[in-house]
Amino acid sequence: MAQKLPIDSNINSPNQVSIFRTAKPSSEFYTVFSEAEVLGIVQALESRWEIPLKYSYKGQGAKIWDSFYLKYIVPTWYRTSNVEIDLLKSNFAYLNGDYQQCEKVNIIDVGAGNSYPVKAFISRLQKIDKIDKYIALDISDELLKVSSKNFKKWFPLIDYTNYAIDIENNKIPENIFKNQLENTANIFLHLGVTIANHHDRHQVFQNFRDSMAQNDLLVFTNEIGSNSQWDGIARGGCKYHADQVYGWLTNNLGMEAEDCELVRRYDPAKDSIVANLKLRQNYTINFSYLGIDKSLEISAGEEITIWRHHKFEIPTLIQEIEQAGLKLVHYSTNKYSSHLMVICETASK
C-alpha cells in the first residue's frame, strides 16, 4: 500500500513540486526598519544571502547589544582588562590634540553603542580641559538613546549631540562640524572591532577619509590574526551576540524555530568568521511594506549570514587603509597581542 507523505516532506522525486513554507516578517520588523533599510535587507538577501549585522543593533537589537556588553565586556573585579579602555589609555598621547598641536579635540564616536568604552578616556580629557564636544553617531536610534542617557549622567558639563547615520553608506554629515572652534581637531573613533563586522570595509574607510580634515584622526580597534586558522570554537561575540541576534531574527522574519539552526563557519569568500541561519525547510520570505512587495525563495540546506567578523593581519590592514587614502600614524597592541588600536590620518594633507 502506498504511504502518504507528510505535507511538508523534503523528499523530492523528479515529478514532485517542492513545498515552500511562508515566512512573513513581523509588524515589529517593519516598525524597526525604515523603507530604505528594508530594501537594503532585501537587496543583501537577494545578492548574497546576508542580513548585514549593522541592522541587528536596531529595535530590540539595541537591548541585546547593551546587555551583552554589560554582561561580557564591561570591566569587573574578575575581568579587569578591557580592550578599548586599555588601548585608549595607552594611546592617550596621540589622542589629546598634542600630536596635531591643537588646543582641543572633538570626539566623534562612530558606532558609539552605549558609549561606555570612552568613559575613562573622556574623563581624562576633561580633567586637562582638552575636550570641546562629544558627538555620538550610530545606525541605531535606540543605542543613541542609551548613549545619551549614559553620557549626560557621567558628563553633564560636556557638550553632547548625537545623530543616526549608516557609515557604510554615507560620509559624516558636514553640519556636525559647524561652529568648530579654531585650533581644534576631530578624533573619529570606530571602536569595539566594528570595522570587522562591515560587509564593505573599503567603503567605510573611504567615508571616514572623505569626512576628515588635515588635523583629524581616525582611531579604530580590531582583532589580529588569521581567520582561516579558526579553531571552530565560538567565543565572545561569535557565541553570545550571534546567539541573541539569531533568536531575534528568526522570530521576526516569521520562521518557525524548529525549521532553522544556527551554524558558524569560516567564509573564504570574505575571509571572515560568520554565523549563519541555516534552513531545514524550504521557505518563501514575503516582504510586504509600503511600496515593497518582494518574495524570496530559499531552499532547505541554504544559509543566511547574520553575523560576521574579520580579523586583520597587519600587512593587509595597512594595505586596506592606504587603498582608502588613509595614512598610518601609529598602531599598538593590547597586552595579549590579540587586538590592536590603529590611528590614521588622511593621506592627502
Which residues of the chain form contacts with ligand SAM (CB under 6 A)?
54, 57, 65, 69, 84, 111-113, 117, 138-140, 143, 165-168, 191-192, 194
Cα–Cα distance, 248 to 60 (Å, whole number): 8
Q: Find the shortest distance in angstroms from Cβ 189 to ligand SAM.
A: 7
Q: How far is the CB of 120 from ligand SAM (least distance, A)?
A: 13
How far apart are the C-alpha atoms of 285 and 130, rounded to whole Å? 52
Report, in Å, the least distance between residue 27 CB and ligand SAM: 22
Smallest gap, in angstroms, from Cβ of residue 309 to ligand SAM? 10
Q: Which is nearer to ligand SAM, 132 or 138 (CB)?
A: 138
Q: How far apart are CA 290 and CA 171, in angstroms?
A: 28
> Distance (Å, rounded) from C-alpha 304 to C-alpha 41?
11
Question: C-alpha grid cell for residue 236?
Answer: 565572545
Please report, for residues 31, 76, 258, 333, the alpha-carbon distance to residue 338 in angstroms, rounded to integers and kept in the order given: 39, 20, 37, 7
> In terms of CB distance, is 104 or 241 closer to ligand SAM?
241
Distance from C-alpha of 103 to C-alpha of 214, rounded to nearest angstrom: 15
Q: Which positions ≥6 away from 142 have C-beta within 8 Å?
A: 57, 58, 59, 61, 62, 63
Looking at beta carbons only, is 24 or 119 nearer to ligand SAM? 119
Shortest Å, Cβ 194 to ligand SAM: 4
Phi and psi torsions of 10, nearest 5°:
-95, 0
State in Å, rounded, how far the first CA of the chain is from the last one.
Answer: 82
For ligand SAM, the closer of residues 161 and 214 by Cβ is 161
Helices of type H across 156-292: 201-211, 236, 242-253
User: 62 or 326: whose CB is closer to ligand SAM?
Assistant: 62
Q: How far is the CB of 248 from ligand SAM (least distance, A)?
A: 14
Amino acid, single-letter form, for residue 310: H
Kindly state the smallest distance separating residue 342's Cβ from ligand SAM, in Å: 14
Please, which residue, 194 or 281, has the CB nearer to ligand SAM? 194
**Residue 162, phi then psi, degrees to nearest 5:** -145, 155
Question: Cβ closer to ligand SAM: 84 or 132?
Answer: 84
